[in-house]
Amino acid sequence: MTISHTAAYIAVKLYGLTRKSAFAEKFDPFILNYYEQLVSALPPHLRWHRKALRSSAMRSFFILSEELLLPGDLMHILCRKYYVGKQVQALLDEGFEQIVNLGAGFDHLGAYHSQQKIPVFELDRASMISEKKSFLEQHDFSNNNLHLVPCDFEQQRAGEVLKSLEAFDPKKKTVFVAEGLFDYLDLLPSENLIEDILSMNRKNKLVTTFFSIDQLNYFHRSVFKGGVALVGESLKFKITRDEFVELLEELGLILEEEIDRAYMKQDFMKEIGTNLPVMKGFYVQQYSIKV
């Protein structure tokens, strides 16, 4: 089974966290069921988490272990899923007509919104698309509005791939989602992605996460990089938050909304009543195209 272990561990951690009712209440029951089914379908060396994380004692152990090594990593996952989902839904409520999820991994957005009759296009490496398609079909999450499309962002232009699809309409107002994608891309394919977004409807929006690793101390940076390397992946887009915003502005995108860890602490964290922190340097951003 060829999968992104980063994507798999995100699913496992979200599943474990939402065993707590206060956390689960922030997500639609469809989403909670999706991740429970997903974790049960992962390879054996990951699947065992489904049973283990049902135990409150085991959850407490995993949380303590994670917080000792990389404080805030767990809650950053919960927050990214919550706020990305919230921003996408708000844009759909404003009249956006389709979603493109770039580097979708095992994310639930496609399955969730496509069953609401929204056309969703998920782009990722061919191996991930194949594994996810199998999972969606086996667990009845597939439908005619959800399109899983192989795309290697390092070798292909996402815009060309999308425009080759009969179901995709480049003239429609589209929400492009890049959750955790830019951290793993080089500069050129990142610029190509932005150019492709700009080449379509000028009312398109980009909802993205960004992780400014420079805001972590040396030890936590090492832990983060080591964890990524351990599962055979690497961070490539090594710029700061300010540099990222400046780059996107130079390319033609304007930062319209930004959710940082301070806001998450006062909004999401306070509401669910947890003292767990959100990792430093984590942002959820929304960009519009310069007029």
Domain membership flag for residue 191: yes
Domain membership flag for residue 59: no
Burial of 186 (0-12, 13-18, 19+ CB in 10 A): exposed
Distance from C-alpha of 233 to C-alpha of 143, rounded to nearest angstrom: 31
User: Which CATH number belongs to the domain containing residue 283 in this structure?
Assistant: 3.40.50.150
pTM as predicted = 0.94
Domain membership flag for residue 166: yes
Contact of 17 with 74, CB cutoff 8 Å: yes
Return the HEC string of 115-175: CCCCCEEEEECHHHHHHHHHHHHHCCCCCCCEEEEECCCCCCCHHHHHHCCCCCCCCCCEE
Domain membership flag for residue 24: no
SS3 (DSSP) at 206: strand
5-17 and 56-69 are packed helices; what angle lies between their axes, rounded to 10 degrees? Answer: 130
pLDDT in the model for residue 184: 86
Taking 50 as the pLDDT cut, the residues of the chain under it are 1
Domain membership flag for residue 135: yes
Distance from C-alpha of 268 to C-alpha of 10, rounded to nearest angstrom: 19
Q: Under 8 Å CB-to-CB from 271, ≥6 apart: which residues? A: none
Q: What is the pLDDT of residues 205-254, one digit of tens each?
A: 999 999 999 999 988 988 888 887 766 777 777 789 999 999 999 999 99
Domain membership flag for residue 204: yes
pLDDT in the model for residue 115: 95
pLDDT in the model for residue 1: 47
Domain membership flag for residue 262: yes
| Structural domains of the chain, count | 1
CA distances from 193 to 46, 117, 160, 161, 274 (A): 32, 26, 11, 11, 37
Quote the domain boundaries for residue 173.
Answer: 71-216+235-289
